[in-house]
């Protein structure tokens, strides 16, 4: 390829999963780049030598993995640690190792080729497995093989920090172990062909604040190491070899982004009070304990949603009561956070579980997930509830049950919770005085019976991500129908109003923890709905606080009362956009 072609500019659009703009040099993160060569072991003594080479590579690979695990020790509870154990198990697996040695001995081929044949054999076995989750586990074996091949080729593992500064990692996909390694090597950002908003790459990137874009499909086929590259994690854009004009545009964009961040951060620690003195509580949503420092920096007053199902992902065995307890104890009672809302695990749907019985469903979004799963797998549920009640001795804790669709579900969950408390007390284990009980309002039936449900609980938290999906019949992970996913649909607004009214009639607070809560455009609509609490991604907090502090509660109520009667989605959107542009010109002039 000539130099002209190499410098060609490409612009890719993927899913921005962690905001921020960075410019740097691409580093194509491939474990092994070279095609494999087969050679026959014709001379005596070569077989023994190949086996020694293989064993040496196995030892070095194991040492690498153990080193990664050791270096990540401080990330207690973060998923990569479990997956590294799985990799080591594969490395030590008798049939994997002996099978490869046998191929060297019987087919008289080099260690690389024997390893490839072993991996191919596993691949053909896994391809026949009907269970999706199990079938995907072949990637673990492939990953381990790649690491071994690297040592066979005499390549040292790439120490990214030694490759130069300002690196941006480009990869097809990143395993949890790779992602964690990258985190240690302090790269500027990363972009991958695969992955969605809930992939590990996305979650870790967001948690550590590195700009990242995923789901770029063919990026790795066009980028080469050392290409100049811009990542805009806010809008999901990746630019390869930007021309002068694009460079300039992105420099300006980056400056605006940083300036706005600094400016809005000034609002982080201030309370969310409107100009006419209406206060709304601001919480944040987290998936990992590592996000707690960010929660405090960005000004969360409490944890509005801890998605505990992330403790279950990527591991072979369910977490024990002690593991749950360890996690909850680290949040509850944290000086910077006034309350902690622990949502019981919402496994199922797009969150893969090690228990394969539940892994394959025709309509997983409407299947065995969330509270349905908990009430079926009571041992898992009880272990979690015991840990929550024990940890509640340390500070204000709230338990939140997901996807409640009828009073029977909440009554059963509460009775299990009650029994758990009694058991702990009779075992003489210290427990907190009380744990507030709440439900997610995210199924339309729960809205219709909200008045009845309100009598059963201490608070509501509206999960708009699911509520909109079920109300408008739009699969939230299907990109073909996202154009219909509309939080300003009149049906959505009217339902939200109904939930808040029912909650307030019963004297309980109503929170919102879906993505809608952190979207600046909706700030006045949410104020007008008279929600008591908004919970969002930590980095979204300063801007929302800034908007609320410059808003008027009574004006926001009038805005809501006006648009809620419109019949057309487009008219509502237009009115809200115009209102926000006029009211906050400096915030919305680009939209």
Q: Which of 79, 112, 466, 533 binds ligand PEP (CB under 6 A)?
A: 466
CB of 514 to ligand PEP, least distance (A): 3
Q: Could you tell me which stretch among 91-99, 459-467, 540-548, 559-567 binds Mg ion (CB under 5 A)? A: 459-467
348 with 363: CB under 8 angstroms?
no
Q: Which of 284, 489, 502, 513 is catalytic?
A: 513
**Residue 107 CA from chain centroid, whole number:** 46
Long-range CB pairs of 215-222 (<8 Å, 24+ gap) are: 215/14, 215/15, 216/12, 216/13, 216/14, 216/191, 216/192, 217/14, 217/193, 218/12, 218/193, 219/12, 219/14, 219/170, 219/191, 219/192, 219/193, 220/28, 220/170, 220/171, 220/172, 220/193, 222/10
Shorter beta-carbon distance to Mg ion: residue 206 or 421: 206
3-state secondary structure of 60: helix
Q: What binding mask, one character per residue, do residues 499-538 give for ligand PEP by CB under 6 A, x or -?
A: --------------xx------------------------
Q: Is 324 a catalytic residue?
A: no
Least CB distance from residue 506 to Mg ion, whole Å?
22
- Tell me if 307 contacts ligand PEP by CB under 6 A: yes
Shortest Å distance, C-beta 446 to ligand PEP? 12
Indicate whether 515 belongs to the interface with Mg ion (CB under 5 A). Answer: no
Among residues 309 and 466, whose Cβ is nearest to Mg ion? 466
Residue from 20, 304, 463, 518 touching Mg ion (CB under 5 A): that is 463
Integer Cα distance of 475 and 221 in angstroms: 30
Separation of alpha carbons 103 and 115, rounded Å:
8
Site string for ligand PEP, 444-463 (x = CB under 6 A): -------------------x
- CA 219 → CA 22, 149, 200, 274, 343, distances in Å? 17, 24, 19, 45, 37
Tell me the C-alpha to C-alpha distance, in Å, between residue 348 and each of 311, 365, 373, 513.
14, 8, 8, 19
Q: Which helix (H) or strand (E) holds 492?
A: helix 490-505
Estimate the share of the chain in helix, then strand, then coil, as percent rounded to the nearest 5.
55, 15, 35
Given 151, 200, 324, 489, the catalytic residue: 200
What is the per-residue binding string for ligand PEP in 311-350, x denoting contact by CB under 6 A?
-----------------------------------x----
Q: Note whether 464 binds ligand PEP by CB under 6 A.
A: yes
Cα–Cα distance between 85 and 44 in angstroms, integer? 37
Q: Which is nearer to ligand PEP, 168 or 450 (CB)?
A: 450
Q: Quick one: which of 463, 540, 533 has its CA closest to 504?
A: 533
Distance in angstroms (rounded) separating the CA atoms of residues 395 and 253: 43
Residue 208 or 305: the one with the smaller Cβ distance to ligand PEP is 305
Helix axes of 553-563 and 490-505: crossing angle, nearest 10 degrees: 130
Number of helices followed by number of strands (H, E) in the chain: 25, 16
Q: Which two tokens stand for residue 511?
A: 């929170």
Query: Is there binding between residue 309 and Mg ion (CB under 5 A)?
Result: no
If one asks whether residue 304 binds Mg ion (CB under 5 A), the answer comes out as: no
In whole angstroms, how close is the CB of 205 to ligand PEP at the nearest point? 18
Would you count residue 442 as binding ligand PEP (CB under 6 A)?
yes
If one asks whether residue 22 binds ligand PEP (CB under 6 A), the answer comes out as no
Q: Which is nearer to ligand PEP, 346 or 530 (CB)?
A: 346
Q: Catalytic residue at 513?
A: yes
Residue 513, contacted partner among ligand PEP, Mg ion, none, CB below 5-8 A by kind: ligand PEP
Active site residues: 200, 513
Sites of contact with ligand PEP (CB under 6 A)? 305, 307, 346, 442, 463-466, 513-514
Sites of contact with Mg ion (CB under 5 A)? 442, 463, 466
């Amino acid at each position: 390829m000539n130099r002209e072609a190499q410098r060609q500019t490409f612009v890719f659009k993927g899913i921005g999963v962690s905001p921020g703009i960075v410019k740097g040099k691409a580093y194509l993160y491939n474990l092994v780049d070279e095609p494999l060569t087969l050679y026959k072991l014709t001379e005596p003594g070569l077989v023994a030598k190949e086996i020694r080479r293989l064993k040496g590579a196995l030892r070095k690979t194991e040492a690498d993995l153990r080193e990664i695990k050791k270096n990540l020790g401080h990330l207690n509870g973060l998923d990569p640690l479990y997956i590294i154990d799985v990799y080591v198990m594969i490395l030590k697996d008798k049939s994997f190792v002996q099978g490869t040695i046998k191929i060297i001995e019987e087919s008289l081929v080099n260690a690389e080729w024997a390893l490839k044949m072993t991996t191919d054999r596993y691949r053909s076995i896994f391809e026949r497995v009907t269970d999706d989750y199990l079938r995907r586990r072949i990637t673990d074996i492939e990953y381990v093989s790649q690491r071994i091949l690297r040592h066979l080729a005499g390549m040292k593992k790439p120490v990214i920090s030694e490759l130069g500064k300002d690196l941006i990692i480009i990869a097809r996909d990143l395993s949890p172990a790779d992602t964690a390694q990258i985190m240690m090597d302090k790269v500027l950002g990363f972009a991958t062909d695969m992955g969605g908003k809930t992939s590990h790459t996305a979650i870790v990137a967001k948690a550590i604040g590195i700009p990242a874009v995923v789901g770029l499909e063919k990026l790795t086929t066009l980028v080469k190491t050392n290409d100049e590259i811009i990542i805009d994690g806010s809008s999901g854009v990746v630019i390869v070899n930007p021309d002068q004009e694009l460079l300039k545009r992105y420099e300006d964009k980056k400056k605006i982004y940083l300036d706005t961040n600094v400016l809005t951060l000034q609002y982080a620690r201030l309370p969310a009070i409107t100009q006419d003195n209406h206060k709304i509580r601001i919480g944040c949503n987290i998936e990992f304990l590592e996000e707690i420092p960010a929660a405090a920096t960005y000004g969360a007053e409490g944890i509005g949603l801890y998605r505990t199902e992330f403790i279950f992902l990527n591991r072979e065995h369910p977490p024990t009561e002690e593991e749950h307890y360890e996690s909850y104890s680290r949040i509850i009672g944290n000086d910077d956070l006034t309350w902690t809302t622990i949502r019981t695990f919402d496994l199922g749907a797009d969150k893969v579980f090690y228990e394969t019985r539940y892994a394959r469903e025709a309509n997983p979004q409407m299947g065995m997930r969330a509270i349905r799963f908990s009430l079926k797998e009571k041992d898992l549920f009880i272990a979690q509830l015991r840990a929550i009640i024990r940890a509640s001795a340390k500070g204000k804790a709230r338990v939140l049950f997901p996807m409640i669709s009828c009073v029977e579900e909440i009554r059963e969950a509460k009775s299990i919770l009650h029994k758990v408390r009694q058991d702990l007390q009779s075992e003489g284990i210290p427990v907190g005085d009380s744990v507030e009980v709440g439900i997610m309002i995210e199924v339309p039936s729960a809205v219709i019976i909200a008045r009845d449900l309100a009598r059963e609980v201490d608070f509501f938290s509206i999960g708009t991500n699911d509520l909109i999906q079920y109300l408008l019949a739009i699969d939230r992970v299907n990109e073909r129908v996202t154009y219909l996913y509309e939080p300003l649909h009149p049906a959505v607004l009217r339902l939200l109003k109904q939930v808040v009214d029912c909650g307030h009639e019963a004297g309980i607070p109503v929170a919102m923890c879906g993505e809608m809560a952190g979207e600046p455009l909706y700030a006045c609509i949410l104020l007008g709905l008279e929600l008591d609490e908004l919970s969002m991604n930590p980095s979204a907090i300063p801007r929302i606080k800034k908007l609320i502090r410059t808003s008027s509660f009574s004006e926001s109520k009038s805005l809501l009362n006006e648009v809620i009667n419109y019949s057309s989605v487009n008219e509502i959107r237009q009115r809200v956009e115009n209102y926000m542009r006029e009211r906050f010109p400096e915030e919305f002039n680009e939209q």
